Amino acid sequence: MAKKGPKLQYIEPIGARVLVLKDEPKRETKGGIALPDAAEIPTITGRIVSISRQVAHDEDVPLKQYDKVLFHPKNAIPVDFEPDNKHFVVPVEDIVAVFRSSPPELD
């Protein structure tokens, strides 16, 4: 019997990158019209699952775990972490917005 390797439990991005769990694609328009699978509206939002040490210690990058973000998918690297999950390693420069419940304090 072949020995199986250890199960992957955690992904830690390296460099100026974050791990994002992409939101589910839209299956319905705002007006309530159901879309066929072939006509999905592309979604480029998701939640940060983990951040690299470099990002965690960079005061100029206002990202933290569980932030909802908008990202440019061109340089995002898909990761097969678990079945049916959509994880992506995304460079910080491709994070274009962070969703917040209130505006940040300005110095």
In this structure, is residue 85 part of a structural domain? yes
Q: Is 0.85 topped by the overall pTM?
A: no
CATH number for position 60: 2.30.33.40
Per-residue tokens: 20: 């994002």
pLDDT tens, position by position, 4-63: 655 656 788 999 999 999 887 666 666 766 666 655 556 589 999 999 999 999 999 999
Q: Please check whether residue 50 lies inside any domain of the structure.
A: yes
Does some domain include residue 106? no
Is 8 within the bounds of a domain? no
> Which phi and psi (to 5°) does residue 44 adopt?
-125, 35
In terms of pLDDT, which residue wins out, 86 or 97? Answer: 97
**Which residues form the domain of 49?**
17-25+40-99
More confident residue, 13 or 82: 13
Paired residues of 45 in beta bridges: 70
Residue 94 resides in a domain: yes
Asked whether residue 89 is assigned to any structural domain, the reply reads yes
Residue 10: inside a domain, yes or no?
no
For residue 101, give the amino acid letter: S
Whether residue 68 lies inside any domain: the answer is: yes
State how many domains the chain has: 1
Q: Say what the pLDDT of residue 74 is.
A: 87
Question: Which residues are within 8 A (CB) of 99 and not within 5 positions of it... i.e. 6 or more apart?
Answer: 45, 67, 68, 69, 70
Rg of the chain over Cα atoms, rounded to whole angstroms, equals: 17
pLDDT of res. 11: 85
**For the chain, how are helix, strand and coil distributed in percent, rounded to 5?**
10, 30, 60
